[in-house]
Structure 1
Amino acid sequence: MVDAILGLQWGDEGKGKIVDFFAPQYDIIARFQGGPNAGHTLYVDGKKVVLHQIPSGAFHANTLNLIGNGVVLDPVTLRKECDTIEGFGVDPRKNLFISHRTHLILPTHRALDKASELQKGNDKIGSTLKGIGPAYMDKTGRNGLRVGDLLDKSFTTSYIKLRLKHQRLLDNFNFQEDISQWEEEFFESIEFLRSLNLVNGEYFINDHISKGKKVLAEGAQGSMLDIDFGTFPFVTSSNTTTSGVCNGLGIAPQKIREVMGVTKAYCTRVGSGPFPTELHDATGEELRKLGNEFGATTGRPRRCGWIDLVALKYACMINGVTKVIMTKADVLDKFDHLEVCTGYEIDGKDSDFVPFQMIRHKIVPRLKGFDGWNCDSSNTREYADMPLKMKEYVQFINSFVGVDVSHISNGPGRNQIVTV
């Protein structure tokens, strides 16, 4: 049995906390796509921990964690994260497993990412410069190196061959930065990576499923950043939707049961790209301040706006979402007035659909107003005790999207999740 948790917006929905909350109900937590551009924030013993590569079940002693083949893995980032979790008494050699088919991010991938983004100037997509895109390009171009290649004595030769190819591309970009230190860190981390549990991921996961084990598939980024269905070209390089669970872990579609989609009570986006409900005023700034909206990976301030129900309904449709989990509801506590987007005006015409290409059109959100609850909800533990105006807000979202909110997160703490 496999359940999935994934983002329904442009990432940063708070999936890490949600996975951590549900993790005790599962035997395995498996990351199925993305790379170190993901930043899943957890609070462990009152301390903030951001995981970029390791699944968010790492702090549960009886839970296995798998990095699936759909992920692109930076060995340097992984080693640093392992050091972090070891500081909390967690031994990654005990409960962390990595698929042989997982592609590696090389130092030259990071260099190519930076060189490409610099060349784009004003047309840059807002890459995190972690080498994600170039690593996925080598994957689809059938050039990439994978974790399983580390077990082959010819790995260094293969690395040098690919590095030379990348260097020719970097020369075309006139990229002059010295990456020798990156390479030194890389090979030190490669030795560490060899000491971990490297497995045939597809057999590992299916064997556990056949034995009745419960698997939670953990997504990174969000549905509106999906390479196929997101706001292209301002997207990530992988499938962030439910289909990515199958591709990124090697499991059959019929094995998937629940699809839990995570959305904030409002919207945010990091980097460039269309954002119909973005607020460029004091309200947007207040959302950023109250929600502490700064990227967990990059530290960049997030763009903020009202919740977009057109995009949310679209994301639920393409994912087959069975439950919606709303995060950061408490951020709206201090607002007297709220708005939600219930439609678009696209080039002067009303629409209820996410268009094929957002950046070629003038999109004006059609907004519906709500009274805010204007009181502290963060200490509430039962849905019946939630403010009436919050419940009205949630019920409208339920009816519009067609999938009910099952849980509401009203603070960063592990215990600040209310079952609806």
Structure 2
Amino acid sequence: MDHLSTPEQVFAFRRSFGENLVHVHLYASEEDLHQRYDQLSGESSLSYEEVNTLNEQSRIVALKNDADVRIYTTRADARDTLVRVAARLHLYTSPDVRCVDVLIGGQFGSEGKGNVVAYLAREYDVLVRVGGPNAGHTVAASDGPYTYHHLPSGSRDVSARLLLGPGMTIRVSKLLEEIEACRIRPDRLYIDPQATIIEDEDLERERDSLVSVIASTGSGSGAAAARRILSRGKETVRLARDVPELAPYVGSPGNYHGSTVDRLEEAYRSGQSILLEGTQGSGLSIFHGIYPFVTSRDTNVAGCLAEAGISPSRVRKILMVIRSMPIRVGDPDGDQGHTSGPLKHPTTFNEIAAKAGLNAEALLTAEKTSTTKRKRRVGWFDWEQFRKACALNAPTDLVLTFADYITASNRNARRFEQLSEDTIKFIEELERVSQAPVSLINTRFNRETNGSNDLRSLIDRRNWTARTHARDEQWTLKN
């Protein structure tokens, strides 16, 4: 970059740099130029006419005519100017660059998304999380299981950049505890300044109105989102940008390094691989679930993309996670008649254990929600609900979890052909109904708290990896 003020200087630069030179011509009205000079000159005794060396109309016209970009700054500020110049320099990424993979739940949550995300996370440069602390994603690791409530699953075991989008609802004290437990440095974590803060009043409101009625987690996410909508124009709403403790991860006004749109644009331009981790499950969507037994946001792929600030045109893979036996959180304690929502084909974990040859007591111990530790209800597979989730999300890949609930022998499978015959038939039917491959199969969940068990619980049938996709995008950008 350089500042030139005469046609002769520009022509000399053109002789030296040829087509590599981009000439940006900034101009304004005479009145505006005088006002700017008066504001900047202070106590200077020189007038604008005395310092203005470019006053011959012919030379002004010559500069304008030579310019590659002409910007009338009377109607454009510095940021507007930057956008136009960056566009001329081709610094923005084409809309046809697809480098985002999205993982969402296909049922009523607790599909085992956390372990799947943690397995895939090693392939990605950027991990993005949406939702809030009402969704807990438990991950098995060599040093023991860990439940993520705010951070992307697997954050402590990889080196990827971590983004919390503007649609996040954040409980500050819990997030800071999570950051410390996972040893996350400020140069890895970026929190969008517009993420919503959950206050004490939000927890109280949900505890009084939702926990005992529809078995809400009572984490305050829904109440915080509602308060943000209803309190526009009031000072009662705090966003991430208003919390001093989050400043290392958010940034400051004028330089919000936590702005996910900017960080994502960098990733697109660099051809980096991005994994967006959805929250809860399709059947809990506030718009598409069975109202009122729903959560406070749209949990389908479109809603997750909107919360993260990612255009659908950036998506290359949509992975939908489904359990062999869908669950709902247990019905609320206390008042008779209240329920967390219907299950089409209800059964019990005792019945599943008997059919699959599993230990019923172990299932009952394990099948508690990650956030509230409430016992779960379970049902046989619901094909109608599954097809609706497929229609809403159009998955390119399916992930089947809890394969051992079909038969206990699946726990020992390391390859697809080692699965039971009934399991393979079930997978084939899933693929027919969804018209998508079952690319990952979780054969069991590692529940030993000491982490001593064999962690190989995923059968990977993909014909792609995030790394190979990223290389393809890099090739596209360069060529």
TM-score bin, normalised by smaller chain: 0.7 to 0.9
Distance 1:147 1:280 in 2: 42
Structure 1 residue 142 displacement after superposition: 4.5
- Within-5 A mapping of 1:6-405: 6-32=104-130, 34-86=131-183, 91-117=184-210, 124-143=213-232, 144-150=237-243, 191-198=244-251, 199-271=258-330, 272-279=340-347, 282-283=350-351, 289-291=361-363, 292-334=366-408, 376-405=409-438
CA displacement 1:258-281 (0-9 Å, x = unmatched)? 100001111111141111111158
Structure 1 residue 391 displacement after superposition: 0.8
Structure 1 residue 320 displacement after superposition: 1.5
Return 5+ residue gaps in structure 1 as ranges: 151-190, 335-375
CA displacement 1:92-116 (0-9 Å, x = unmatched)? 4242211111111011111111122
The one-letter code of the counterpart of 1:328 is F
Q: Which moved more, 1:283-292 or 1:253-262?
A: 283-292
Indicate the SS of the match to 1:97.
strand
Distance 1:387 1:246 in 2: 36
Distance 2:267 2:429 in 1: 40
The one-letter code of the counterpart of 2:347 is L
Structure 1 residue 46 displacement after superposition: 4.1
Distance 1:248 1:117 in 2: 23
1:417 aligned partner: 458
The one-letter code of the counterpart of 1:259 is I
TM-score of the pair, normalised by structure 2: 0.65
CA displacement 1:3-27 (0-9 Å, x = unmatched)? 1000000000000100011111111
Given that residues 70 and 244 in structure 1 are in contact (C-alpha distance below 8 angstroms), is that contact kept between their aligned partners in structure 2? no
* Alpha-carbon spacing, 1:210–1:141, altered in 2? closer, same or farther (3 Å): farther
2:39 aligned partner: none
The one-letter code of the counterpart of 1:244 is G
Distance 2:302 2:433 in 1: 24
Given that residues 193 and 250 in structure 2 are in contact (C-alpha distance below 8 angstroms), is that contact kept between their aligned partners in structure 1? no
The one-letter code of the counterpart of 1:215 is I
Given that residues 129 and 164 in structure 2 are in contact (C-alpha distance below 8 angstroms), is that contact kept between their aligned partners in structure 1? yes
1:369 aligned partner: none
Relative contact order, CA 8 A, sep 6+: which one is greater?
Answer: 1
Indicate the SS of the match to 1:208.
helix
* Alpha-carbon spacing, 1:257–1:131, altered in 2? closer, same or farther (3 Å): same
Given that residues 267 and 305 in structure 1 are in contact (C-alpha distance below 8 angstroms), is that contact kept between their aligned partners in structure 2? yes
Given that residues 293 and 341 in structure 2 are in contact (C-alpha distance below 8 angstroms), is that contact kept between their aligned partners in structure 1? yes
* Alpha-carbon spacing, 1:281–1:206, altered in 2? closer, same or farther (3 Å): closer
Distance 2:137 2:349 in 1: 28
Distance 1:205 1:305 in 2: 39
2:28 aligned partner: none
Structure 1 residue 283 displacement after superposition: 1.1
Given that residues 290 and 331 in structure 1 are in contact (C-alpha distance below 8 angstroms), is that contact kept between their aligned partners in structure 2? no
CA displacement 1:17-71 (0-9 Å, x = unmatched)? 0001111111111012x21111101112240101111111412442111111111
Distance 1:279 1:216 in 2: 34
Structure 1 residue 213 displacement after superposition: 1.1
Distance 2:108 2:322 in 1: 9
The one-letter code of the counterpart of 1:54 is L
Distance 1:21 1:140 in 2: 36
Indicate the SS of the match to 2:140.
strand
Indicate the SS of the match to 1:295.
coil
Given that residues 262 and 325 in structure 1 are in contact (C-alpha distance below 8 angstroms), is that contact kept between their aligned partners in structure 2? yes
Distance 1:245 1:142 in 2: 23
Q: Which moved more, 1:225-234 or 1:75-84?
A: 75-84
Distance 2:361 2:315 in 1: 38
Count residues with an aligned counterpart.
330
CA displacement 1:314-351 (0-9 Å, x = unmatched)? 101101211110011013324xxxxxxxxxxxxxxxxx
Distance 1:251 1:390 in 2: 36
Output the aligned Cα RMSD: 2.0
Indicate the SS of the match to 1:259.
strand
* Alpha-carbon spacing, 1:245–1:282, altered in 2? closer, same or farther (3 Å): closer
Return 5+ residue gaps in structure 2 as ranges: 1-98, 252-257, 331-339, 447-454, 462-479
* Alpha-carbon spacing, 1:280–1:23, altered in 2? closer, same or farther (3 Å): closer
2:85 aligned partner: none
CA displacement 1:361-403 (0-9 Å, x = unmatched)? xxxxxxxxxxxxxxx2222211122222221121122223332
Structure 1 residue 126 displacement after superposition: 1.1
Given that residues 406 and 423 in structure 2 are in contact (C-alpha distance below 8 angstroms), is that contact kept between their aligned partners in structure 1? no
